[in-house]
Amino acid sequence: MHCGTDRKMRRLVRAVALLSAVAGLLPGCERADKGGPSAAQAPDEKRAPDNVRTIETSADAAEGKGEGVIKEEDKKALKKAFEELQNDVKLLMFTQETECEFCSVTREIVEEVAALSEKITAEVHDFVKDAELAKKHGVDKIPAIVLIGEKDYGIRFFGVPAGYEFAALIQDIVDVSRGDPGLSKEVLDELAKVDRPVHMQVIVSPTCPYCPRAVRTAHRFAMASEHITADMVEISEFPHLAVKYQVQGVPKTVINEEHSIVGAQPEMESAKAVLRAIGK
């Protein structure tokens, strides 16, 4: 693990106030242009909560688990927001024994978020040892988070959900718990026309205030259609994809490899772009 980069990401995770993300969960107050985790030291956890199933990694052996990424005051706000959760949500996180630059931060976020509600379960898996499980859930790179509610809706996070993207993670958890993407009837009617596989990859940066809106749109589309899977992809962690898809600015949503949306577009425009990508 490259510790210098890891510390840099920790600082980035702490750069944006989490409470704005929590405020975005309140009815009628969702703000995709605000939110993200701030963090400081948390009390030492001697054992993981019962709803957090994790693995031992090289980072644990080297650093221990005394330092958290979410402030105690922000944990209280999240606990309050999570009181609205209706059904159980599972967070599958994939890392590896010798953790990548950003894997340890992602794992800590997942474990700490899950510890805030009995309705959230965290399972941390080894990308190498659990290769079949990773393949089953469409995980081909790490760090990765898969959100599962009553079913696997096809919602993925590749890279640390840091900065503004933390808000997207929290809001996705609420949506998955409700089993409702929160889309208008008009948008749902358009998505009902999707009859073949669609893969949406939203290329983002943690410091981009517009990216969460694009991520949320794609993830809501995945919930609304069994044919759609949607990934958040953090650009600095997967630069080869930025080159592959000729990303000059974020957010950029790549649809089925050959089509794309630049910027955070309205949901109806994004739905029409999905249909164009499959020739409709």
What's the CA gap between 165 and 184, in Å, rounded? 23
What's the CA gap between 115 and 76, in Å, rounded? 12
Question: Comparing 23 with 170, which gets the higher pLDDT?
Answer: 170
What's the CA gap between 86 and 39, in Å, rounded? 27
CATH of domain 1-150: 3.40.30.10
Beta-carbon-side half-sphere exposure of residue 230 (alpha carbons within 13 Å)? 28
Task: Identify the DSSP state of 235.
Answer: T
Give residue 134's pLDDT: 97
Q: What percent of the chain has pLDDT over 70?
A: 76
CB 45 within 8 A of CB 52: no
- The pTM assigned to this predicted structure is 0.82
Alpha helix stretches (DSSP H) within 179-253? 185-191, 211-224, 239-244
Out of 2-11, 72-81, 143-152, pick the least confident: 2-11
pLDDT band at 27 (very low <50, low <70, confident <90, very high): very low
Do 181-280 and 1-150 fall under one CATH topology? yes
Q: Are strands 120-126 and 152-158 parallel, antiparallel or unpaired?
A: unpaired
Strands (E), the chain: 52-53, 89-95, 120-126, 144-148, 152-158, 198-204, 228-234, 252-255, 259-262
pLDDT digits (tens, 9 = 90+) for 206-254: 889 999 999 999 999 999 999 999 999 999 999 999 999 999 999 999 9
Domain range 181-280, CATH class: alpha beta
Question: Mean per-residue pLDDT for 113-122?
Answer: 97
Give residue 56's pLDDT: 55
Range with the largest mean pLDDT of 20-24, 43-47, 127-131? 127-131
The domain spans of the chain are 1-150, 181-280
Give residue 8's pLDDT: 57
Out of 40-49, 62-71, 80-89, pick the least confident: 40-49
Give residue 163's pLDDT: 85
A 10 A CB-CB count for 41 gives 11
Give which of 156, 37, 177, 30 is closest to 105, Cα–Cα: 37
